Amino acid sequence: MEALVIVAHGSHLSAGSSAPTHQHADTIRATNAFDEVKTGFWKEEPSLREVLRTVESEEVYVVPLFISEGYFTEQVIPRELRLDGWDVSEWNSDGLSADTATLEAADTDHTVHYCGPVGTHRAMTDVLIRRAETVTGDPNIGSDVGFAVVGHGTERNENSAKAIEYHADRVRESTRFEEVKALYMDEEPEVDDVTDFFSTEHIVVVPLFIADGFHTQEDIPEDMGLTDDYRTGYDVPAAVDGHQIWYAGAVGTEGLTADVILERAADAGADIESAIEMVREKTRQTPFADD
Amino acid sequence: MIELADEQRRLARTAAQSESNPIEFDGLSFGNNGDGYWIETAKRGLRGLSASAFDSTLSDEQIAPYISNWHFWEHTVAHDGRHRRAFLRFLESAAQMDVHDRYAALESGMQTTWGELSITATLASHGVREYQLHHERDAGTSASKLETYENPFDAREIARFDSEGRYRPLQTAPSLIDGWIYPALTQREVFETVDILYPATIPNWNLERTGELDITHWHETAQRQTGIYDMVEELSTEAVDWMAASCCADSECLKRREWEYDENTTLEADGGSGVFPCREPCSLVVAASRQWTQLEKQEPRSYTFELTPAEKEQIEDMIESVAEGNISEIREADVSEGANRYRTRFLREKRMDEEGNLSGTPTHSSEKEDG
């Protein structure tokens, strides 16, 4: 038997923090690709310390629903899951290339395939683009449109900016959008000045965050001038300095994120090709581009 | 009267012929030897049966419950999930009751309380177990008046907010809402649903039963912390005791605290009387302990306040009411209660200055010097 365990941060204060984790777990559960699909959290229950003991399968794929490699993926999660013999060198990563390491959980004896975070997987670029389609309702969105990927910045973790640059580069290489920019909350180029960086009238702005919360629902909308007060909400699109800003909210809430979770498990050896196909189609909210 | 399904009969025949025969389970044994098929329970024993005689014996009123019981435990529940299996056995007192008595009890429903949950095991067709799950407060409420649920994962909606709509970060807080029912869960579903409402309580309960519970005491948990929680190791034993008494009492969490300060230093606080154990300080305790680690670094100092005896008692009443979570029960006009809003506003008006200092006394002496 094989299980998928999605691990995420969660929150003691915000009820919505774990919603994307549960949403993607439900999507994957519906594919029957795994005998069990479980969720574990740093701040909610079951805790990272105890999630594995709720798993009946001997073989477990653990996928961190985190944006970048760093403190949580390298230290906290392996420590709390009691992955025997873990060392970050197991991933042999440059900050973007963590894939998988197979270890044993000391307390439960599960064989754990510990995967890299969803945020740095190449398939996350597709989710950013899908998010643009969803927020504009246009499956062909791209030409004459600017695209901004927004991240926290390097203040806490240099790998966080690497992930933003990586996906911005990939969106740019797709040549689908007129202009592509990586922007940050706490460093240059800043999301506050979003309209300075684009000549296109329409700009799609997608934060590379897992869940909507303080940053994506309060800070970024106010910083960009979508609203003076986040409590009064904002329009999509919103007119700012002669531009139309389509603000998408956290990319992690996009249904296709479930695909990236599956890609991580597949890269670690799970045989789930048909589930991946199913999730790609089922999570699409706009009609097909050629319909 | 248990009527066996064709599949149950087929599996029994196959098992009787298999290399693993004789089969022995819960007071039933059956197999096949040189004399033909045989089957035995506490009430009945038959030997030298032909295949067709064995077949019709399976449906015997005395035998069929045993066969369905064997089928349920060895084929439906099976052995993949040891904690699930142990929990389901517990729900029908399988270790204490023989199949005959158990089936009679299951016919009318066997009820177990698990935290604030009430779980009732009953028999559906062919002796397959079915489980009803609701809040224990709804024991006397007709199912038609409760909101019906079927999907275990929808239990997340039940668990997320308390009756006042506040987010419940601690799933085992005794604040689970009532008014809902899962009328008919399968054995796997009842395990999944309880595991959502009270995560990991079943594995930990079972590990404790079998003497395998891995308890991580406070000091070890604190030592393991890094980042912003690195500091919690500095919290004094005394403060850890106050924390356990404040946060881990039965009024706050239904888990029974089994962790102590360390292996050799027990805490004075009562661990509670819950069915399922708490094997380690949870993330809420660790996060709160960070606050207390910072606050407890302050040295006490003497302040002089002028209060009437009634005002001193009122402040004590207010602390009591906040600590017990009783504020919402204090009626708007009940000014005899110290924590009544009007009484509190009056006290603030009288005893606090514009900066919010009680009795006009600054918190830090520098403020006095500056002022």
Whether pLDDT at B14 is above 70? yes
In chain A, where the domains are located: 2-120+255-282, 123-253
CA distances from A198 to A183, A195, A266, A285 (A): 12, 6, 37, 27
- Chain A hits for B156, CB-CB cut-off 8 Å, are 22
- Name which of B171, B199, B214 is nearest A107 (Cβ-Cβ): B214
* Whether the predicted pLDDT of B366 surpasses 80: no
Q: Express as a percent the part of chain B with pLDDT over 70.
A: 98
Give the three-state DSSP class for B103.
helix
A20-58 tens-digit pLDDT: 999 999 999 999 999 999 999 999 999 999 999 999 999
**Would you state the pLDDT for residue B42?**
86
Alpha carbons A63 and B159: distance in angstroms, whole number: 24
Q: Is B284 on the interface with A (CB under 8 A)?
A: yes
- Nearest by CB to A54, which of B167, B171, B203? B203
Which residue from B84, B161, B203 is facing A15, i.e. has the nearest CB? B161
Structure tokens at A4: 């998928």
Per the CB < 8 Å rule, is A54 touching B84?
Answer: no
Confidence of residue A291 (pLDDT cuts 50, 70, 90): very low
Tell me whether residues A46 and B226 touch, CB distance under 8 A. no
Mind listing the pLDDT tens digit for each residue in B62-96?
Answer: 999 999 999 999 999 999 999 999 999 999 999 99
Residues β-bridged to residue B257: B278
Question: Does B367 have pLDDT greater than 60?
Answer: no
Q: Name the residue in chain B with its Cα closest to that of A53.
A: B203
Q: How far apart are CA A260 and CA A116, in angstroms?
A: 11
Q: Euclidean distance between the first and final Cα of chain A, in Å?
A: 40
Instruction: Report the run of H or E that residue A180 belongs to, with start and end.
Output: strand A179-184
- Express each pLDDT in A160-187 by its tens digit: 889 999 999 999 999 999 999 999 998 9
Task: State the pLDDT confidence band at B370, using cuts at 50, 70 and 90.
Answer: very low
pLDDT digits (tens, 9 = 90+) for A90-146: 999 999 999 999 999 999 999 999 999 999 999 999 999 999 999 999 999 999 999
Chain A residues lying within 8 Å of B195, measured CB to CB: 46, 54
Q: Which fold has domain B218-295?
A: Alpha-Beta Plaits (3.30.70)
Peptide bond into B22 cis (omega under 30): yes
Segments making up each domain of chain B, as ranges: 6-74, 80-209, 218-295, 309-370
Q: What is the number of helices (H) and of strands (E) in chain A?
A: 7, 11
Q: Average pLDDT for residues B108-124, to the nearest whole number?
A: 98
Place A214 in a pLDDT band, splitting at 50, 70 and 90: confident
Cβ separation of B280 and A26 shorter than 8 Å? no
Using one digit for the tens of pLDDT, what is the confidence trace for B35-47? Answer: 899 999 988 899 9
CATH class of B80-209: alpha beta
Q: Does B358 touch chain A (CB under 8 A)?
A: no
DSSP state of A253: G
Chain A residues within an 8 Å CB radius of B284: 12
Asked whether the beta carbons of residue A56 and residue B283 sit closer than 8 angstroms, the reply is: no
pLDDT band for position A288 (cuts 50, 70, 90)? low
Tell me what the mean pLDDT of segment A222-251 comes to: 95
Residues B174-197 have a mean pLDDT of 98
Instruction: Note the pLDDT of residue A113.
Output: 98
Q: Which chain A residues are closer than 8 Å to B207 by Cβ?
A: 53
Alpha-carbon distance A202 to A38, whole Å?
40
Give B84→chain A minimum CA distance, Å.
9
Nearest CA in chain A to B226: A76
Instruction: Give the tokens for residue B339.
Output: 């924590």
Look at domain A123-253 and name its CATH class. Answer: alpha beta
| Architecture category of domain A2-120+255-282 in CATH | 3-Layer(aba) Sandwich (3.40)
Token digits for A72? Answer: 């949580």
Q: In this structure, what is the dihedral angle of CA atoms B34, B35, B41, B44, given to the nearest 10 degrees?
A: 180
